[in-house]
Chains A and B, each alone.
Chain A
Amino acid sequence: MLGLGNNLNGGAALDAAYNQFALSFDGTNDHVDTNATFQSTFRNSFSVSCWQNTDNYTQTDTLWGASADGNNFIKLFQRGSGRKLCFQFKSAGSNSRQETASAEFDATDGLDGAWVNWVVTATKTGTEAENITVKIYKNGSDVTAGSALTAGCTAEKQGGFTTDQNIYIGAFNAGSATASNLLPGLMDEWALWSVALDADAVAAIYNSGVPFDLTADNGNYDNSGSLVAFYGFNEGSGTTATDATGGSNGTLTNGPTYSTNIPG
């Protein structure tokens, strides 16, 4: 039986009190340094989920990413006058860019103050010569454009991804730990898996707009064992973003604040 305020996902009752805070970025220079490159994870199939809320739109603002050099970088960002969300992964000089099929941001109001769950999956295909497959999901639905902007990253090149730069959340680590293209607004629940999540798992993660603890399987979400990093941003104070997997704790840098404006 469900209690008031609880949610149901594939038969498992969830704790509505799980999510307490999100992070608020002013978009000037504040961000989260994950203190990890996740190089080995990005060399194979992977997925990243995060929740975003903003009432602003600026081209190239980056939700997360890092660059070692011009031939090795990864980022999820708001792209161009088309106001789409774009994922770009360049590995060993081989480039893959995939964006959403439609504009996702209003020119002035961004997401208009609504919470959105974004999931990017990258599937390393069977042979070394085949290109990786990238999908972008919004609120549990596949919103990937029919053809990639650039589809040249092969499985072989992905395996050569080389970086010494930490992934930043709320900004693009442009190299030498330089935060650029910073994102104003709210971010929550950043998670990385070492598998390409299937559509059912992505829909389960969206969970009708209510995040849950991704360290445990829940309904069609059966990938907790592949979780590499998970920052729930529920500390409420301090400058440490705890990685619930026990991996690499992040550092709140230059003053992000905690907000009780959360998804759900």
Chain B
Amino acid sequence: MDRKYVILESSEVSSVDFSKVLEDSSNTLRYNNNNTKTFVKYTGDQPDFLNGKTELTYTEIITELAKSEWQLAE
């Protein structure tokens, strides 16, 4: 089943229901380099706590994560 992804503001992490997403906990979330954004992923219907958030496909999230703000330089 295809995964879907939603980018969140770091301030929204406290609202994440980790039983509804594939991330293990707040400790394993990946943040951008200035720690202002993170994301979660799930399969199936969008969890209620993410209602209204823009849903990204795998291709779309990979494009987003390829930006320099998510990557560490060599």
Contacts and interface: CB of A to CB of B under 8 A. Distances in A.
A83 interface: no
B53 interface: no
Interface of B: 3, 5, 22-24, 27-31, 39, 41, 58, 61-62, 65-66, 71-74
A184 interface: yes
B74 A80 contact: yes
A28 B74 contact: no
B3 A180 contact: no
The number of chain A residues touching the other chain, given as a range, is 20 to 34
Contacts of A90: none
B3 A254 contact: no
Nearest to A60: B74
Given A26-B41, A29-B23, 5 more contacts: A26-B3, A26-B58, A27-B65, A28-B5, A255-B41
A144 to B, nearest CB: 19
A231 interface: no
Nearest to B35: A178
A177 B5 contact: no
Given A26-B3, A28-B61, A174 B30 contact: no
Given A253-B24, A254-B28, A29 B39 contact: yes
A79 interface: yes
A28 B62 contact: yes
Contacts of A255: 22-23, 41
B34 to A, nearest CB: 13
Interface of A: 26-30, 58-60, 77, 79-80, 172, 174, 177-182, 184, 253-255
A181 B66 CA distance: 9
A180 B35 CA distance: 13
Nearest to B43: A255
Contacts of B30: 28-29, 178-180, 182, 254
A29 B8 CA distance: 14
B23 A181 contact: no
A59 B74 CA distance: 9
Contacts of A59: 74
A60 B73 contact: yes
27 contacts: A26-B41, A27-B62, A28-B5, A28-B30, A28-B39, A28-B61, A28-B62, A28-B65, A29-B29, A29-B30, A29-B39, A29-B41, A30-B22, A60-B73, A77-B74, A80-B74, A178-B31, A179-B28, A179-B30, A180-B71, A180-B72, A182-B30, A184-B62, A253-B24, A254-B22, A254-B24, A255-B23
Given A28-B41, A29-B30, A255-B41, A181 B22 contact: no
